[in-house]
Amino acid sequence: MPSSDTQGTNSTAQRGQQATNDTMDEGGPGPLNPVWLRTFVEVYRAGSFGKAARRLRISQPAVTQQIRVLEQRAGVRLFVRHATGSKPTPAADQLARDAEGPVAALDFVLEQHFGIGDQTRRLRLGAPSDLISDRILPVLASMLKDRVELCTTLAQSDKLLSQLVSGQLDIVVARTRPRLKGITALPLYDEECSLVASPDLARTIPEGLLTYDTPHVLADYPLVAFSESLPLIDHYWWSVFHASSPAAPDVVVPDHRAVLAAVRASVGITVVPTYLCADDFARGTLVHLLKPEIPPITTTYLATREGDITRPQVSAAHSKLLECGRTWN
């Protein structure tokens, strides 16, 4: 005999298929079921008809049929299916931008007043790797007890913000200020930055030669950076030296911990958030090349799409991060 869970899942799948069949059997276009927009959003986010079906707890044929009806009614193709999933078309990108907010609002109403809604309660969060491990995961761990599925993406801020705009992420913690249409961003916390090197490399710089007026002294030393755009390094050079930073880094590693590993090995010099170096300073494995009286400060931002803050899991994570961000300054 099948378990009650299996019966419940099968029943849900049958209802999803029946809802589709009822409309298709009427001999005309019939009313457009708004639930199918949730199916579309789920396929768009998951990148796969199969994954969307599992998350919605309906059959894959039901998902396929619902998307097909939407395509017929809209007169455009929404997804191109391939071996590893489904790629959204430009028309799907536009529909996702328009539909995600209303779908999220409907889920919020259903959950708040009727105890139903987005059953998966997923939260897709993007941030630099060091922030995910050191700060974000410890804060959001309690949400897992509330059946929230936390999916993280580690990348540079520009890429993460692009994924936020396209609907692939729900929240982004960015070290650059978002200036994008449809994106709401609040300051999360401020952090100090330090110019550091290994003790061995630092000893090769003649004592007293490097000052706040002589950044050219560093031109002969390889520059290790988190990204080619040099956001932290640019900010440090302008704040401390009142000059432009070197034109390009010599080594690019998109992970601050890997950057520090390279610097410990005397590959070059770098600018990183000071908190990442606390243990190295204590052990003597890294040293300051300069210690400004007022260290350069950068602001990290918490970004969401407009309207998404109504989703319960987005709202909860947003509030928790803002609350803890005050203690990170």
Residue-wise pLDDT for 65-97, tens only, equals 999 999 999 999 999 988 888 999 999 999 999
Does this chain's domain 4-114 share its CATH topology with 190-298? no
CB 164 within 8 A of CB 96: no
**Domain spans of the chain, in order of start:** 4-114, 122-184+300-328, 190-298
Tokens 């999220």: give the residue.
104
DSSP state of 6: H
Percent of the chain's residues with pLDDT above 70: 88
Confidence at 221, pLDDT banded by 50, 70, 90: very high
User: CA 108 to CA 105: how far, in whole Å?
Assistant: 5
Which numeric CATH code is attached to 4-114?
1.10.10.10
Residue-wise pLDDT for 97-136, tens only, equals 999 878 877 777 776 677 665 545 678 999 999 999 889 9
Identify the CA nearest to 184 among candidates 160, 168, 166, 164.
Answer: 164
Query: Strand ranges (DSSP E) for the chain?
Result: 79-82, 85-88, 122-127, 149-154, 171-174, 183-197, 224-225, 251-252, 270-273, 287-288, 297-305
User: CA 174 to CA 155: how far, in whole Å?
Assistant: 10
CB 167 within 8 A of CB 95: no
Average pLDDT, the chain: 86
Query: Is the model's pLDDT at 158 over the cut of 50?
Result: yes
**pLDDT value of residue 152:** 93
Angle subtended at Cα 309 by Cα 173 and Cα 189, rounded to the nearest 5 degrees: 30
Identify the CA nearest to 245 among candidates 221, 277, 279.
Answer: 221
**pLDDT value of residue 125:** 96
Distance of CA 138 to the CA centre of its chain: 16
3-class DSSP state of 199: helix
Residue-wise pLDDT for 260-281, tens only, equals 999 999 999 999 999 999 999 9
DSSP string covering 38-60: HHHHHHHHHTSHHHHHHHHTS-H
Query: Is the model's pLDDT at 61 over the cut of 70?
Result: yes
Which numeric CATH code is attached to 190-298?
3.40.190.10
Query: Is the model's pLDDT at 28 over the cut of 60?
Result: no
285 C-beta neighbours (distance < 10 Å), count: 15
37-41, 113-117, 241-245, range with the lowest pLDDT: 113-117
Confidence at 12, pLDDT banded by 50, 70, 90: very low
Name 137's Cβ contacts closer than 8 Å, sequence gap at least 6: 152
| Architecture label for domain 122-184+300-328 | 3-Layer(aba) Sandwich (3.40)
Query: Is the model's pLDDT at 183 over the cut of 60?
Result: yes
Identify the CA nearest to 104 among candidates 157, 41, 59.
Answer: 41
